Structure 1
Amino acid sequence: MAEWEGYPLHECVFKDDLRQLSQLLRVHDVSQKDVHECIQLLLAHGAPVRIKNLQGWTPLAESISYGDRQTILCLLRKLKTQSRESLEERRPALIQALKDIGDFYLELKWDFHSWVPLVSRILPSDVCKIHKKGCRLRLDTTLVDFNDMHWERGDITFIFNGDAKPQQCLSVLDNRLKVFQRIRYEESEAELDDEVDILMSSDIMAAQMSTKNITFSRAQSGWLFREDKTEMVGEFEADFFYVNGLTLESKKRREHLSPEDVQKNKAMMESLSKGTWDNCDFVRRPSLIPPPDPGIEWENYLNSTPGKPPCLGRHQISKESTKSFKATIAMSKDFPMCVKDLLDVLEVVAPFKQFQKLRQFMTTKLPDGFPVKIEIPVFPTVTAKVTFNTFEWLDDISEELFFIPTNYTEDPNRFPDL
């Protein structure tokens, strides 16, 4: 049997043989990869769209390169649907893990700072107050919106109810206006269209933080007599470490962009780096003219070197880069919560596709203790810092904190971006 006969679904897609494809769908695995590409069709049959080819690109990335707006929209919609379904499968276990953790009150401060004055002026910072009781969480914050180069401050509360249906589990309250809004579980068609416009007018990006070569070394203090750095972080004594070997590997492609697109994106990034923001509206992007038929035969495609298939769409205009970061982390053995419990809380309210990788790193590679302070550069001129100031286990947290007050009215448009 020829090697290519092991991928009959791919051959049908390659040859646009819909009749044969419809028959094979009944008996073949639609998630199977060939030696080059991910399945990019068959969404109605549950083909996974997060899967990557040997070059590290997803079907969504390839569809952006090709430039057919409807295909991009279908893949984006399916990607979000599959992400929600995956979360719902894990939801019972996540909620149970949250219930198993004792009730607590936590304060953490996060801020971004820069040595560039104009940039530093617009970077956000805040103190978040978190209450947890059973499978309910309450987060109080002051940041509301960003307008005219300034952050709007207010009195905002997020309430998560693990016992509620997914569509109703998360609400945001404006305590000054005494209104609340349910955070939408699914994006509207208009929001999906806006996201397609952004994807079609931006670089195609693929990035991952490599943690394979990370090492930790004790930070030193003192001028004449150097010694290991140990300081109080909030209420907790902590040992400071340098994180070495933290590497961001990124790739980007722009074969789908016009010279005008590239220039506009460059100008936008330059204005942002100077502390200004030109809020350009994205217009609806039409589909691109399809690339010419490459004239590649199926046998030639599949029998080429794995990971180096012949080009079937636009010729890639790509660039790869690697940046090394040196972060600082403060570990405290006095902090009452363990790292695993923190991760259980975070995964309930802020799940993302790399969470398991984060969990593995946080539970196996960190020095002893709890990371009460983390400082890491996110851009050449901007550093992010998260500090755990206060923590205490509590047995008497009021139930009222986790319910919307009866004198609040619902305003579905108070926070249009949520």
Structure 2
Amino acid sequence: MSNIQADVSPGDDFPLHHAVFSGDTKLVSQLIRVHDLAQKDVHGNTPLHLAVMLGHKECIMLLLSRGAPVKVKNNTGWTPLAEALSYGDRKIIGMLLRKLKQQSRELLDQRRPALIQALEDIGDFYLELKWDFHSWVPLVSRILPSDLCKIHKKGSCIRLDTTLVDFNDMRWERGDITFVFNGKASPHNALTVMDNKLKVYQRIRYEETDQEVEEEIDILMRSDIMAAQMSTKNITFSRTQSGWLFREDKTENIGEYAAEFFNINGLVLESKKRREHLSQEDIQKNKAMVENLTKGSWDNKEFSRRSSLPPPESPTVLWEEYISAPIGNVPCIGRPHLSKESQKNFKATIAMSKDFPMTVDVLLDVLEVIAPFKQFQKLRDFMENKLPPGFPVKLELPVFPTVTAKVTFCFFEWRDDLSDELFSIPSTYLEDPTRFPDL
């Protein structure tokens, strides 16, 4: 231990960062055994951030082998994966993307028993949820989808029935599809999708194939580096008014439930994007791709494998200059950023009902099981502490300037007579692992 400290300059609060910055792999291999790999320096960078920005592959491999976190942001909101995309080395990007997926699965596996127990503790129920998109543009409205989802829950099992199957060439394929989540099954067999017309089923893969990961790398390397968050700090609610001459608070029945309508104020999407890793040809292709997507004619087969970029120039910044730089004015040690920030204000409405039998807590427990994500605790805090009284039976939120998304809880009832057969694969169904190629 004394030999390690002897190589560290006096007063250095970030010895591992310093070793990574210097590319001293021998010292890094010693320090990672006794230091917190998630520690952030004054600029919010972890050792992995620095290793990626500087292209120190051996340091990256050492850090990842010891479980250095990939999904952590620095003071400017960027993760090591974002910095890897900027640096442009395909091998480094692949290492970080695979480790990110592994860490996400491991985190979910750790939380899985508690989530399943929470689901077990909830009473069994049947729920109807309608969602649709609508637009004031007639042609657009004709191609936008809508669906009534029927959800059954028993014990640790959830069944969701939907009529939307696929989306190709701006047309929605209708069908009869069922998703079944079995909380008691292993993660590899927990989620199954059934085509009830063809009488086939497919297990949804727990892990992506190497081919899928390589294709994801291609997409990431030729796309803008994005970071976005919906800020809830300044959100307030005000009663929605109705009537032309005599204005009054808007109330109406949603299904059989009386609801009060509120405007959601201060809903702001903050987004940043970087494109220093893209050529002008890339930017033009991306623009064309977006235009073709809106016409339903994009074919991703036109893209070949993406090669690594030439590395950025080696930085001339010394460690002492980097670590002593004022916060918010960090020296560039990778590829110089080409970035743009934007804010978008959303006008949304929400209908709250005190008559709805389900509580917000129950809804959140169900959602966290079937759609867990890192920011879920923020969503839970917001819905439990900021929403007006009642249950959110309807939400309308603009997603594009001309398109609004609407989610409505139409019907709910507690049930204690649900059959186990609802949550099992019929014996007459055959397994077809290719029925849903994107799952």
Could you say which TM-score interval applies, normalised by the shorter chain?
Answer: over 0.9
Q: Does 1:187 align with 2:187?
A: no
Mapped contact 2:37–2:46 kept (Cα < 8 A): no
- The whole-number CA distance in structure 1 between the counterparts of 2:281 and 2:64 is 33
Mapped contact 1:255–1:315 kept (Cα < 8 A): yes
What is the match of residue 54 of structure 2?
A: none
Match among 237, 248, 268 for residue 227 of structure 1 = 248
- The whole-number CA distance in structure 2 between the counterparts of 1:4 and 1:81 is 36
1:82 offset after TM fit, Å? Answer: 0.9
State the Cα RMSD in Å.
Answer: 1.4
Shift in alpha-carbon separation, 1:240–1:61, aligned structure 2, 3 A: same
Mapped contact 2:254–2:410 kept (Cα < 8 A): yes
Mapped contact 1:4–1:303 kept (Cα < 8 A): no
Q: Does 1:92 align with 2:113?
A: yes
What is the match of residue 290 of structure 1?
A: 311
What is the match of residue 27 of structure 2?
A: 20
What is the match of residue 224 of structure 2?
A: 203
1:402 offset after TM fit, Å? Answer: 0.4
Q: Does 1:47 align with 2:74?
A: no
- Written as runs of structure 1 = structure 2, the 5 A alignment for 1:204-283 is 204-273=225-294, 275-281=295-301, 282-283=303-304
- The whole-number CA distance in structure 2 between the counterparts of 1:117 and 1:386 is 21
What is the match of residue 15 of structure 2?
A: 8
Mapped contact 1:4–1:302 kept (Cα < 8 A): no
Amino acid at match of 2:320: E
Shift in alpha-carbon separation, 1:4–1:293, aligned structure 2, 3 A: farther
- The whole-number CA distance in structure 2 between the counterparts of 1:267 and 1:232 is 45
Q: Does 1:382 align with 2:390?
A: no
Mapped contact 2:348–2:395 kept (Cα < 8 A): yes
What is the match of residue 368 of structure 2?
A: 347
Mapped contact 2:17–2:46 kept (Cα < 8 A): no
What is the DSSP-based 3-state SS (H/G/I as helix, E as strand, rest coil) of the residue aligned with 2:283? helix
Q: Does 1:38 align with 2:46?
A: yes
Mapped contact 2:147–2:162 kept (Cα < 8 A): yes
What is the DSSP-based 3-state SS (H/G/I as helix, E as strand, rest coil) of the residue aligned with 1:283? coil
1:169 offset after TM fit, Å? Answer: 0.6
- The whole-number CA distance in structure 1 between the counterparts of 2:11 and 2:372 is 38
Mapped contact 1:207–1:249 kept (Cα < 8 A): yes
What is the DSSP-based 3-state SS (H/G/I as helix, E as strand, rest coil) of the residue aligned with 1:5? coil
Structure 1 length-normalised TM? 0.97
1:45-89 deviation per Cα after TM superposition (whole angstroms, max 9, x unaligned) = 011111111111000000000000111111111111111111111
What is the match of residue 401 of structure 1?
A: 422
Match among 181, 199, 207 for residue 160 of structure 1 = 181
Match among 57, 60, 63 for residue 84 of structure 2 = 63
Query: How many residue pairs end up in the alignment?
Result: 417
1:31 offset after TM fit, Å? Answer: 1.4
- The whole-number CA distance in structure 2 between the counterparts of 1:192 and 1:403 is 31
Mapped contact 2:165–2:173 kept (Cα < 8 A): yes
Q: What stretches of structure 1 of length at least 5 have no aligned partner?
A: none
1:276 offset after TM fit, Å? Answer: 4.0
Mapped contact 1:3–1:303 kept (Cα < 8 A): no
Amino acid at match of 2:153: K
What is the DSSP-based 3-state SS (H/G/I as helix, E as strand, rest coil) of the residue aligned with 1:197? helix
1:149 offset after TM fit, Å? Answer: 2.0
Q: Does 1:109 align with 2:130?
A: yes
1:284 offset after TM fit, Å? Answer: 1.1
Mapped contact 1:35–1:307 kept (Cα < 8 A): no
1:23-56 deviation per Cα after TM superposition (whole angstroms, max 9, x unaligned) = 1122111111112223323111011111111111
1:283 offset after TM fit, Å? Answer: 2.1
Mapped contact 2:168–2:296 kept (Cα < 8 A): no
What is the DSSP-based 3-state SS (H/G/I as helix, E as strand, rest coil) of the residue aligned with 1:378? strand
- The whole-number CA distance in structure 2 between the counterparts of 1:322 and 1:151 is 32
- The whole-number CA distance in structure 1 between the counterparts of 2:81 and 2:251 is 47
What is the match of residue 52 of structure 2?
A: none
Structure of greater relative contact order (alpha carbons < 8 Å, 6+ residues apart): 1
- The whole-number CA distance in structure 2 between the counterparts of 1:362 and 1:332 is 14
1:126 offset after TM fit, Å? Answer: 0.9
- The whole-number CA distance in structure 2 between the counterparts of 1:134 and 1:191 is 34
- Written as runs of structure 1 = structure 2, the 5 A alignment for 1:98-137 is 98-137=119-158
More divergent stretch after superposition (87-96 vs 113-122): 113-122
Aligned residues with identical type, % of pairs: 70
1:299-347 deviation per Cα after TM superposition (whole angstroms, max 9, x unaligned) = 1111111232211111111000011111000000000000010000011
Structure 2 length-normalised TM? 0.92
- The whole-number CA distance in structure 1 between the counterparts of 2:395 and 2:411 is 15
- The whole-number CA distance in structure 1 between the counterparts of 2:375 and 2:139 is 33
Q: What stretches of structure 2 of length at least 5 have no aligned partner?
A: 1-7, 49-59
- The whole-number CA distance in structure 2 between the counterparts of 1:138 and 1:4 is 58
Q: Does 1:73 align with 2:80?
A: no
More divergent stretch after superposition (301-310 vs 134-143): 301-310
1:290 offset after TM fit, Å? Answer: 0.3
What is the DSSP-based 3-state SS (H/G/I as helix, E as strand, rest coil) of the residue aligned with 1:263? helix
